[in-house]
Structure formats: structure tokens, C-alpha cells
Amino acid sequence: MAWVLPVLLEENLDHIAAHKYSPGHYTALDYVLSHLWQGIAEALPKWLAPNAITFIGFAPLVLVYILSWFICPFCDEAPPRWLALSYVGALYFYQTMDAVDGKQARRTGSSTPLGHLVDHGCDCLTGMSQHAALVMILMPADMHWVFQCMRSIQTPIFLAAWHDRHAGFFPTSLGPIGVTELQYMLMSPILLTAVVGPEVWQRWMTATVELPWASENVRILIVKAWLLQSLAMALFCIVRAMGTVCASRGFAGVSALKDLLPVLLLNVLLGLWHPGLVAAAGRMISLFTGLSIFWMNVQMIVFTMAGTEFPWLQWSLLLYASAVIASWALPLEFSRPVLCCFTAAFGLWLLWWLLSVVEQIKAKLGIYAFCITEKYHARNGTKKHS
């Protein structure tokens, strides 16, 4: 097609066609829920592609993410009951569909590298929605902590793709705690918010306490304690992943650390925005940052499957840094539209790049994205179930 960017060469597509995904280990909770997930998969039609299941689960999260922008634009008030319940329902639905899609793929013999890209690409975008849900219930949150929360959620997602590239499997757990447990830990306080109501939750989150070592009353420490705990877990994940890669690959593992540089620089730049723009457009900054991390993440996944180098010198960092500089160089009435234009332009470019990659992979494998075809099974020697 004329509109498709030539992102991948033919030899890259050959690598992708031969790529085999190695998932992480189930946790105890995963094994408990596995029977439910398998039952749902068995009830689905066998022509329904796993990618379609992923997107069906992802769509409600997009809707509640957009609604949270309008209902809680500045993260300074508790969400209404209906929005909190909607977030819980959307998170649970996505978590379930995200588990079912893999079982559907194995059930129908339709696992493809495209499914790996769609699955973990949506996981990365889900991190943005999870971040929005979290800061919505930790209100009123200083934007420093809001951005720190984004670092602690999104950086480990990139790290998992980096670990897959250099250690050979995609980690989904840290000991007994995995992605499923973390999602339930996130859903629990959101559900509590819906049960007690916004007025009660607002009082809890804005209550202050006197501390002997503090010069003034501070808000209940549970908010910052949770964020510090999430940061500590993120740092532990990073150190553990680095140790695993370096131990297994020696000098090659050490050289692989350069691939972490783009996300490290992005996390630094995230703390350099002008305070005035942060206060006026904190959510837009979060969206721009989330899209930037997502861009790096999908590149890591695609180029790992393609057997080619990950471009650790990212042009998107120049775009991001330019927006940061504009926040200081321009008055607020100009810097905010500049940020919106940069975010929209980058989002459109990212969509074009992604669609081009998907089209190239589909053409190479002879598949569709959202239904299972006879052509795929014929080319790969698998039997299509009736």
C-alpha cells in the first residue's frame, strides 16, 4: 500500500515470522483464575482472533480514561461513584480479556508475532489508564508525585520488553507478586472509593496529621507511602532485571544497558517542565509522556522480533525536550497550545508507524488482525478448528 512506511526490511520480516514468544511464569493467583479464563475462552467462537479479544477488553479503558479528563481534570477531587465503579469494571474486564486472548490463541492454534505486539502494546497503553485511575483517587496530589507515580508504573513495562530482548523471556511477575496481583491492588482502593463515596474519600485524602519532625501539618502519609513503595518496587525490578541480563550475557549484558538510556532521559525530562504549565496542563504532559514511553516500548518489541538494533538515540526525545524548553521560553498562553500540538502530531505519527508495521506483518504472515484465516493455517501447517 502506498501509505505504508517501509519500517521493516524483508529480512526483518523473516525474523518476525520465526519469532517465538516466551512468557513469564504464572503466580498462585494466576493459577486460581486460570480456570475462569479458560472457561471464557471455551465459550468464544473459534473464528474470533486473539487480537480482537485484546481490543475488546482495551476499549472500555480508553473510554473511562477520556471521561476522567473531563470529570477530574486537575486530580484535585475525588471521583464520583459511577466513575470509580466504571474504572474498576474496565480494569477488571481488560485484565480478564488480556488473559483470555492467550488461551484463545492456543485453543485455535493462531498464535502470531502480531499478537505479541498487540498484546503488550495494549499493556503499555493500559499503564497510562492505570496511572490516571491511581492519581484520581490519591487526590489532591502534588504533580511531582503524580509524575513520580507515572515513572513507577510505566518504566517497569518498558523494562519487561528490554528484559525479553536481552534475556529471552518476558517477565510478568516478581516472585509471588505478578501483574494480576498488582492490578487487583490497584482496583481495591478504587472500589473502596466507590463504596464510601466521594465526600468521605475526599475527607480521608485531605486529612492532616501533626508530626514532631515536620514544621507544619501534612496530609495522611498513606498517599506518599504508597507512591514511595511503588517507586521502590520499580527500582527493585530495574536492578533485578539488570542483574539477570548482565549475569547471563556478561559484557554483552552490560552493553545492553545503553538501551535503557532513552527511558532514563525521558524520566529526567519529565521533572523539568515549567511549574505553571504543570499546574495548567498536567494531564496533557502525562499523555505526551505516556505516548513517548509507549513509542519506545513498541520499538523495543518490534525490533526484538525483527532481530535488528534498538535505536537508543531517539529523535522523539528531541521533540519532548523542545516542548519542555518551550514551557520555560514561552508564556503559558502559548506554551500550552504548543504542548497540545506536539502531543497531537506525535500521536498521529505514532499511529501511522504502528499501522505500517501491522500491515507489513500481516502481509508477511498472510493473516488478518481480527479474524483467523485459512491462509495462515495453511502456511504454518496448523489445523484450523471448525
- What's at 303, amino acid-wise? F
* Residue 27 to residues 103, 160, 173, 178, 189, Cα–Cα distance (Å): 16, 16, 7, 6, 22
Q: What angle do CA 50, 55, 57 make, to 5 degrees?
A: 95
* Residue 106 to residues 12, 14, 41, 323, Cα–Cα distance (Å): 25, 22, 10, 44
Among 121, 126, 115, 96, residue whose Cα is nearest residue 48: 115
Q: Supply the DSSP string of 24-62, one letter for each residue.
A: ----HHHHHHHHHHHHHHHHS-TTB-HHHHHHHHHHHHH
User: Which residues are part of the catalytic machinery?
Assistant: 120
Q: Are 160 and 103 in contact (CB under 8 A)?
A: no
Q: Which residues contact 351 (CB under 8 A, 6 or more apart)?
A: none
Per the listing, cell 532513552 goes with: 262
- Residues in a beta bridge with 303: none
* Residue 318 to residues 75, 95, 293, Cα–Cα distance (Å): 28, 34, 14
Q: Are 133 and 68 in contact (CB under 8 A)?
A: yes
Among 118, 110, 113, residue whose Cα is nearest residue 377: 110
Q: What angle do CA 278, 282, 283 make, to 5 degrees?
A: 165
Task: Provide the 8-state DSSP code for 80.
Answer: P
d(CA 306, CA 377): 22
* Residue 331 to residues 262, 274, 325, 336, Cα–Cα distance (Å): 28, 10, 12, 9
* Residue 362 to residues 12, 111, 309, Cα–Cα distance (Å): 13, 13, 22
